[in-house]
C-alpha cells in the first residue's frame, strides 16, 4: 500500500489553524514544525530561530532534538568551522529553501564531517534542512533527521517542505513584532559569564543569571544554546569576538556578546548578556517588517526627524518618490502617517507597557516601588 504525502496546502491549513497572534516566535516555529511533521515525519527534529545578521541561534524547540552532549561539537562545525557542505551559511547562498544532506554529498555521506561526527554516531541516516528565509534575511531553520531504519526522504516530501518555507517565514517574522512588550522586570545592565579554556562554566553574575533565565532555552553545560552558539562563533572570529540579538519569550530584546581571552592557562571566554541597545534594535525591527533597503533608508531618516525634502536630498530622490516609499512603509507597518510610524516603532519596540512607572536612562521601566 502506497502512503501519500499530505499536500503543502494541508500542512499550511493545519499551521494556520493552530496559529494566533499571541504566540512568540519560538512558539510559532514550534507550531510550524509540528504541521510539517504531519507530512514529513522525522525521528529527530528541531526548529531554530536565527539572528538574520549573524545567523547565530537565538532560541528554538529542541524537545525532540539532538542530545546535549553533541551540541558543543555541533556548534563548532556550524558556527566556527563553517566548511561543511550543508553549513547554514552555504545554504543561504543557494536559491532553494531546502537541502538534503545525502543529495548535497552526491550520495557519499561520509564526505561530510557533520555526518561523520554528529549524525552517524546517533545512527541517523540523513538530514533535511528547511530555511525560513525572506529575501536576503534568514530568520530560522527547521531540521528533520531520519534514522537508518526509516524510509528515505522523498521528492514529494522535499517539495512540501519547500512550499511551506516562505509562509512560515512570514508568520515567524510577524510574531517577532507583535508579541511581547518589555515590562522592565529584568535589570537594565548586562551581566557577565566566565568560561574556562575548555568551556567549563566558571561563574555567572546575578544579573547574567537573570538574563539567562529570560532566554527560556535548553542549556548545554549550564548555558542556553544561543549563548553557546555565540561562544563558538567568537572562537573562530579573527578578532576573537562575536555577538547576536535574541527575542526572549517575554518580549525582551537581549544582546549576547562573547570574547575569547588569552592567557598562560589557555585563556577562556568572557560573555556579556544584557539589554539590546536601541541602535541594535532598529536594524532587526526594520528587517522584520520586510522593508526594502530603500524603504529602510527612508524610515531611518524619518526616525531622525528629517522632512520629505531633506530625505530626498540625502538619498537623491524626488519628494514624490519619497512619498511612494513612505506609503509602502505605512502599509507594511500598519500605520497611516509619519507621526504614527515614529510612535509605533518607539512604543512597541523600545518602551514597555505604559502603566509601569519610573523610566530608567535607557528607556526601560523599573518595577513600581513596593
**pLDDT at residue 110 in the model:** 96
State whether 223 and 343 are in the same domain.
no
Q: Is residue 360 part of a domain?
A: no
Q: What is the mean pLDDT of each run of 10 residues along the chain (370 residues)?
A: 67 78 82 93 94 84 91 90 93 94 97 97 97 88 95 95 92 73 54 89 88 76 87 88 83 85 76 76 70 86 82 91 91 81 63 38 38
> What are the residues facing 47 on neighbouring strands?
61, 142
How far apart CA 191 and CA 279 sit, in angstroms, is 20
How far apart CA 341 and CA 303 sit, in angstroms, is 8
State whether 57 and 162 are in the same domain.
yes
State whether 96 and 219 are in the same domain.
no
Q: Is residue 356 part of a domain?
A: no
Identify the residue whose cell numbers are 525521528.
Answer: 43
Residue 126 belongs to a domain with what CATH number?
A: 3.30.450.40
Cβ neighbours of residue 282 under 8 Å, at least 6 residues apart?
A: 300, 303
**pLDDT at residue 247 in the model:** 79
Total residue count of the chain as it appears in this document: 370
Checking DSSP bridges between strand 44-50 and strand 137-147, what pairing results, if any?
antiparallel
How far apart CA 237 and CA 240 sit, in angstroms, is 5
**pLDDT at residue 178 in the model:** 62
Contact 68, 228 (CB under 8 A): no
**pLDDT at residue 188 in the model:** 61
State whether 43 and 136 are in the same domain.
yes
Domains identified in the chain, total number: 3
Q: Is residue 343 part of a domain?
A: yes
126, 228, 182: which is closest to 352 by C-alpha?
Answer: 182
Q: Does the reported pTM lie above 0.75?
A: no
**pLDDT at residue 265 in the model:** 57
**pLDDT at residue 348 in the model:** 59
Residue 216 belongs to a domain with what CATH number?
A: 3.30.450.20
Q: What are phi and psi for residue 162, nearest 5 degrees?
A: -65, -40
Q: In which domain, by residue range, is 97 found?
A: 8-178
**pLDDT at residue 363 in the model:** 35
Residue 337 belongs to a domain with what CATH number?
A: 1.10.10.10
State whether 264 and 311 are in the same domain.
no
State whether 170 and 55 are in the same domain.
yes
State whether 48 and 101 are in the same domain.
yes
Contact 258, 242 (CB under 8 A): yes
- Determine whether 101 is exposed, middle or buried from the number of CB atoms within 10 Å of its CB (0-12, 13-18, 19+): buried
Amino acid at each position: 500500500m502506497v502512503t501519500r504525502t499530505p499536500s503543502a496546502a494541508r500542512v499550511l491549513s493545519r499551521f494556520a489553524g493552530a496559529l494566533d497572534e499571541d504566540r512568540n516566535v519560538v512558539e510559532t516555529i514550534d507550531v510550524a514544525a509540528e504541521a510539517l511533521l504531519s507530512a514529513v515525519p522525522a525521528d529527530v527534529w528541531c526548529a531554530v530561530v536565527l539572528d538574520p545578521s549573524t545567523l547565530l541561534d537565538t532560541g528554538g524547540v529542541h524537545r525532540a532534538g539532538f542530545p546535549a552532549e553533541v551540541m558543543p561539537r555541533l556548534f563548532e562545525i556550524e558556527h566556527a568551522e563553517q566548511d561543511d557542505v550543508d553549513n547554514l551559511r552555504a545554504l543561504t547562498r543557494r536559491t532553494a529553501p531546502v537541502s538534503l544532506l545525502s543529495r548535497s554529498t552526491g550520495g557519499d555521506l561520509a564526505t561530510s564531517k557533520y555526518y561523520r561526527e554528529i549524525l552517524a554516531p546517533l545512527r541517523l541516516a540523513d538530514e533535511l534542512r528547511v530555511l525560513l528565509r525572506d529575501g536576503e534575511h534568514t530568520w530560522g531553520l527547521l531540521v528533520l533527521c531520519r534514522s537508518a531504519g526509516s524510509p528515505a526522504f522523498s521528492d514529494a516530501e522535499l517539495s512540501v517542505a519547500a512550499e511551506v518555507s516562505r509562509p512560515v517565514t512570514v508568520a515567524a517574522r510577524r510574531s517577532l513584532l507583535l508579541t511581547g512588550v518589555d515590562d522592565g522586570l529584568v535589570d537594565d545592565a548586562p551581566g557577565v559569564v566566565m568560561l574556562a579554556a575548555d568551556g567549563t562554566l566558571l561563574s555567572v553574575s546575578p544579573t547574567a543569571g537573570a538574563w539567562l533565565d529570560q532566554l527560556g532555552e535548553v542549556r548545554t553545560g549550564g548555558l542556553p544554546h544561543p549563548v553557546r552558539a555565540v561562544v563558538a562563533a567568537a572562537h573562530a572570529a579573527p578578532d576573537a569576538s562575536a555577538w547576536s540579538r535574541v527575542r526572549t519569550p517575554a518580549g525582551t530584546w537581549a544582546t549576547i556578546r562573547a570574547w575569547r581571552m588569552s592567557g598562560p592557562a589557555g585563556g577562556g571566554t568572557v560573555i556579556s548578556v544584557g539589554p539590546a541597545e536601541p541602535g541594535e534594535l532598529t536594524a532587526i525591527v526594520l528587517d522584520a517588517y520586510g522593508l526594502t533597503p530603500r524603504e529602510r533608508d527612508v524610515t531611518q531618516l524619518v526616525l531622525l526627524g528629517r522632512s520629505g525634502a531633506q530625505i530626498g536630498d540625502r538619498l537623491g530622490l524626488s519628494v514624490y518618490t519619497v512619498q511612494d516609499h513612505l506609503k509602502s512603509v505605512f502599509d507594511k507597518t500598519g500605520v497611516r502617517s509619519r507621526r504614527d510610524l515614529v510612535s509605533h516603532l518607539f512604543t512597541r519596540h523600545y518602551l514597555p507597557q505604559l502603566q509601569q512607572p519610573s523610566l530608567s536612562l535607557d528607556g526601560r521601566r523599573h518595577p513600581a516601588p513596593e
